[in-house]
Amino acid sequence: MVEMCSDQRALLFHVLTILFITVVSVQQGYGNGSVKLELIHRHGNGTGRKWSSFPLRQLLHRDAIRLAAISEKLSMAKTESIAATTSRRRIQESNAYYFSACKNGTVSGQLPMHSGADAGAGQYFVHFRVGSPAQRVVLVADTGSDLTWMNCKYSCHGVRCRRRKKKKERDFRKRRVFLADHSSSFRTLPCSSAMCKVDLANLFSLARCPSPMDPCAYDYRYSDGSAAVGLFANETVTFRLTTGRKLKLHNVLVGCSESSRGESFQGADGVMGLAYSNHSFAVTAAARFRGKFSYCLVDHLSPKNVSSYLIFGSHDESRVTLGRMRYTELVLGVLSSFYAVNLRGISVGGSMLDIPTETWDVNGVGGLIIDSGSSLTSLVQPAYQPVMAAIRLTLLNFANLNLDIGPLEYCFNSTGFDESAVPRLAFHFADGARFEPHVKSYVIDAAPGVKCLGFVPAAWPGSSVIGNIMQQNHLWEFDIVNRRLGFAASSCST
């Protein structure tokens, strides 16, 4: 067994959290038609140097909680097939309307994205301009969330509101907030409306309605105990187009969170819901911009000052410099609001692993989803064991350090390690497409001289998740209208 000195162990626990950090970077200067959202990495120090201190255990804990939340959400979805069918039909009708209206347009939109690394979590941040005049807030970009909300200050009339206003001022004294009173386009939804009572029930709208025109309220809960409490409203969102001009989207559903708590939002002002659901921002914005959005994740060790974009609309194919785009079916509305794919199997070194076919059955008890909010890739037990065993066979000369760092099973002293000796991992989709991540995306850097296998086990039955580290250095296109997922190797440089 390879031993580590105490200093090396201490450094590991500070630096290993970079495993959960990825910067999304899509190049500036995208051609005809694209909306870009700039991502911010939470753990970057903005200096261009390697990361030096991160709360590893905290990040591992968040990933574990997110996996549990995904499992719970998928379990609930299995019992709501009728509602899911209705939801899919509404989304399709909405997309058809917008896409028909804009089918001749080639202009796309962009929102700035930067690394959120310095905030202590492995997620990406988007600069979001909302209101009239526009105010800037920074939101977590999450393909697994339905509701888009931001910390918000909204006053109203009456004694009860004045008292609540004082509390809100205390809540937000140290945070950036959206000032709803300063926006001429802010319109709350009546709590007596069918929109509040029925359409927003899945977004945790509350039943209370003191008077018919009182705002529709929500209490949005997350599995880790985090929560956001506030009011639903329609607002105007501003995009910068690739032509240099600006475009305003009106009547976009947002949440005005008067209070929020929990580690899920650390460093951000709220969450951008990019899931596939009736009222998610992804569906609303992508429908306006040719029915698609895309992003490119740079190396997860990239510093905070590496700029990138979340693109709504067509991306510039010339930017895919390292490989051609491949496409596979995007399975929508089956595994809740997640973006699922049909996988045939996984190979290591060109040899298909012995994994039961039901492991990948999205219509059964398995499946695979693409998730920007998860850092590591989680595999259900029937897939996890064969994948780990196959890769570990190539690392026999590197003893397991047996570090107590939660679900990461295998970390080793990487002195003398050459990634060219590791056989390539590949995800084989049912329609023939193949995704081959870089070795650094699954044999990941933890600290100087230490690497880990970047997989965590998930319970079976259940679904597996391709996290953002596995997605790095690839361009990913979510084509909602045509129900296909595109991907290609890319440097993701600006």
219 is catalytic: no
C-alpha separations of 407 from 125, 221, 373, 415 in Å = 26, 25, 18, 23
118 is catalytic: no
Contacts of 463 (CB under 8 A, 6+ apart): 70, 71, 74, 335, 338, 340, 362, 366, 367, 368, 369, 380
**Which residue out of 63, 146, 299, 371 is catalytically annotated?**
371
- Measured between alpha carbons, how far is 355 from 357 in angstroms, rounded to an integer? 6
C-beta of residue 267 within 8 angstroms of C-beta of residue 442: no
Q: DSSP letter string over 210-279?
A: SSTTSBPEEEEE-TTS-EEEEEEEEEEEEEEETTS-EEEEEEEEEEEEEEEESGGGTTSSEEEE-SSSTT
Local structure of 77: helix, strand or coil: helix
**Which residue out of 142, 146, 269, 316 is catalytically annotated?**
142
- Measured between alpha carbons, how far is 122 from 125 in angstroms, rounded to an integer? 10
Going along 14-102, which residue ranges are E strands? 23-24, 34-41
C-beta of residue 237 within 8 angstroms of C-beta of residue 130: yes
Q: Annotated catalytic sites, by residue?
A: 142, 371
